[in-house]
Amino acid sequence: MSRSTMLSAKPRKSLIDLAEDSGFFDLNASDLVFDISTTSPARYYDFVLSCRRCPASEGNGKMLYLMKFDQSVNLELFESCHVPQEVFDDGMPQSDLGLMTLAVLIWKNIIAKSRVLCLVRNMEGDNSQALEALKRATYKFSVSHHVQTLVPRRASVSSGSSFGSNHSYLTDGMKMRVLLCQSKNEVEHISAQSIREAKALLNPSSNPILCVCFPLI
């Protein structure tokens, strides 16, 4: 594995299409609430992380997404990161939940000491090791997180049609949160360290010494 994995420079899809791919439009506004207290205002998530499988037309592999919200809970930053198939061929688990650990390690400097909602599309099978890996990674960077399984509202729509016909089913409130986004980027490199640490956390027996650097609570 090379020191870093090269990725394409910039996303070509519109922000609305990227948000739909990420699963953001399958959320309700209430899903963005981290917790509610009777003595203080509701606290919202600072970030949402999600992933999806890429079709052959998009280079296979998986796509990771990071969404950052401002104080008004509108989208402030949208970033995507393509994980090439070669990373999985080299031993990286492909489960949605496992990829949340990789996402935390890729964006650790951005999401440290924040509240993060991790969206997954599939929670089938034994996820105990993936849950432990995510717990270790988030604890190290002081991230408070929850995991939520996405339930699609309806079949996805083609990105080639008009905005009005394709996205009329989306609530105006959620669309507006996206349209107010100030910046969108695509991560150009995945560091070898992020990949190595994610693989070790998801398969502790492969590198038990490295896992010591990620203690459980």
Average pLDDT over every residue of 1-25: 71
Confidence of residue 125 (pLDDT cuts 50, 70, 90): confident
Q: Which residue has the higher pLDDT, 34 or 170?
A: 34
DSSP H/E element including 53: strand 47-53
**Cα distance between residue 133 and residue 195, in whole Å:** 13
Whole-model pTM?
0.85
**Cα distance between residue 128 and residue 115, in whole Å:** 22
Query: What pLDDT, on the 0 to 100 scale, is given for residue 161?
Result: 40
Bridge partner residues of 63 (DSSP): 52, 82
Task: Give the domain ranges of the chain.
Answer: 4-211
Query: What pLDDT, on the 0 to 100 scale, is given for residue 207?
Result: 80
DSSP states of 85-101 as a string? HHHHHTT----HHHHHH
Give how far Cα 81 sits from Cα of 38, 102, 128, 204, 206, Å.
38, 11, 25, 25, 25
Within the chain, how many helices (H) and strands (E) appear?
9, 10
Query: What pLDDT, on the 0 to 100 scale, is given for residue 109?
Result: 96
